[in-house]
Structure 1
Amino acid sequence: MNCPSYVFACSLLLASNLALAHAGHDHEGHAKQAPPALHQEKASVRFADVSLLDQHGMPVRLEQDLVGDRLVVMGFIYTSCTTVCPVVSSIMSKVQQQLGGRVGEEVQLVSLSIDPQRDDAKRLQSYARAFQHGEGWSWLTGSPYAVSETLKGLGSFSADLTQHPPLILVGDGRSGQWTRYYGFTDPNVLIAEINRLSARRVHAKSTAIAQEVQP
């Protein structure tokens, strides 16, 4: 990990730990390790046809109601984690702030709890207040079956929730292009990917229009 990225990760980690010091047990599997190495990989995802609950207690289906044809930034957390998960949420918070009004329109943010037995909608709503700024960010839980099937389809399932890696998934619901970002990824990297996917849409639309007007 290069020096700027390490400093970025450590500063986020320190701030998040201070903010959530009152929360439950530590993310023990990561607490003994240095910040994880950054890497990314192209991903193929499958959306399980199950019903989840958002932070308002409303039933939602991830693909139909939230992803659709939007650009998506998705993180995986649980509220009693006080190390890795707050960092992931802080990164997504910075993405939301920098994208501004695009979130809720072109872009959808999603945080999925990997601990559905404890993280009900009320608990997620309370947790979200530390990170969310405005609309366009859904915090999801559900039955253990629904959550595990969703995680398996997204390639982020772990039998031991304390061992799950810090992961943010970025993709285009319209084109089906997805990338997994592991480690404490700089928000600007995620925003650059959102902008790249958005630009591809504009290019594809322009190409289609040009083909239509050709004699």
Structure 2
Amino acid sequence: MIRSLALLLALLPAAALAHSGHDHAAAPMESALTQERLLLPDIPVTDTQGETAGFVTRYGDAGPVLISFIYTECKDNCTMVKAVMKLVDADLQAPGAPPLRLIALSVDPWRDTPGTLATAAAEIEASGNWDWLVASRADTPVLLSAFGLKPGPVEAHEAVYLLGDLRSGTFWRISGVPDPAQLIEQARGIAP
């Protein structure tokens, strides 16, 4: 089922849209897809419940994962990223959906705490299948670098998604605004 970006934005709560900094409807964009292998370090990450575990330890046996990169004070592309992830999250509730785990990883450990991430997850009505995580200030640059993200100010981070599984280390890097239905179909090819 194909949905326009305007529909994506309509599904977000008004509070999330207020942070977008834009008052016009966005037009659908194309996304770029490349496959790569990632060797990820087992850096500790903390979830919205305050539980800390190594990233690889936590998700090594999870099967397919879809990782996005956000921060709670974002006023630009995070609104779009959250909208895409929200639609994927909703589609995963349907019978026959692949076993895909969603992960929102903060790029701003200076302001994002487990509590602020929990509030952001609640505002968007994220399901229990969608983890919101933050690493320490020292570990965040190392973890983001392992994901192939360029260092720099949090405001300059790109809209990037990684779809794959940690066991094989094979991931699809998706830049831009992907169609949530295509992400689900891509995940079907990864699922065991």
TMscore range, shorter length: 0.7 to 0.9
Q: Tell me which residue corresponds to 1:145.
A: 138
Q: Is residue 2:43 matched to residue 1:43?
A: no
- Counterpart-to-counterpart distance in 2, 1:110 and 1:171: 12
Unaligned 5+ residue runs, structure 1? 28-32, 202-215
**2:8 is aligned with what amino acid?**
L
Aligned pairs for 1:29-68 within 5 A = 37-68=30-61
When residues 187 and 111 of structure 1 are mapped into structure 2, their CA distance, relative to the original with a 3 A threshold, is same
SS at match of 2:140: helix
Query: How many residues are paired up?
Result: 188
Q: Deviations over 1:134-159 (max 9, x none)?
A: 32221111212211111110112331
What is the alpha-carbon distance in structure 2 between the residues aligned to residue 84 and residue 44 of structure 1? 25
Match of 1:205 in 2: none
**Runs (4+) of structure 1 moved beyond 3 Å?**
13-19, 33-37
Paired position in structure 2 for 1:188: 181
The structure, 1 or 2, with the larger RCO (C-alpha pairs under 8 Å, 6+ apart) is 2
AA aligned opposite 2:85: M
Distance in 2 (alpha carbons) for counterparts of 1:87 and 1:47:
26
For 1:37 and 1:161, locate their aligned partners in 2 and report how far apart those are by CA, in whole Å: 23
Q: What are the Cα deviations for residues 2-56 of structure 1, in whole angstroms up to 9, with x where unaligned?
A: xxx8x82344346548432554x859xxxxx987642111122121232111111
Q: Say whether 1:89 aligns with 2:82.
A: yes
**Quick one: distance in 1 between partners of 2:131 and 2:140?**
15
1:207 aligned residue: none
Larger strand proportion, structure 1 or 2?
Answer: 2
Partner of 2:70: 77
Counterpart CA distance in 1 for 2:118 and 2:155 is 21
Distance 2:151 2:7 in 1: 27
Q: Which of the residues 8, 26, 30 maps onto 1:12?
A: 8
> Where is the helix percentage greater, Structure 1 or Structure 2?
1
Deviation of 1:171 after TM superposition, in Å, equals: 0.2
Q: Answer yes or no: is the 8 Å Cα contact 2:63–2:165 preserved in 1.
A: yes
Corresponding residue SS for 1:129 = helix
CA contact (8 A) 2:8 2:87 kept: no
The structure that has the greater radius of gyration is 1
Letter in 2 for 1:85: C
Q: CA deviation at 1:130?
A: 2.5
Between the aligned partners of 1:157 and 1:101, the Cα distance in structure 2 is: 35
1:41-98 Cα offsets, whole Å, 9 max, x none, are 1122121232111111111211111242411011000111133112111211211221
Task: Mark the CA change 1:77 to 1:8 in structure 2 (over 3 Å): closer, same or farther.
Answer: same
Which residues in structure 2 correspond to 1:83-122 (within 5 Å)? 83-100=76-93, 106-122=99-115
Q: Distance in 2 between matches of 1:195 and 1:124?
A: 28
Partner Cα separation in structure 2 for residue 85 and residue 76 of structure 1: 8
8 Å Cα contact 2:33/2:173 also seen in 1 = yes
Identity of aligned residues (%): 26
What is the RMSD computed on CA atoms of the aligned residues?
2.9
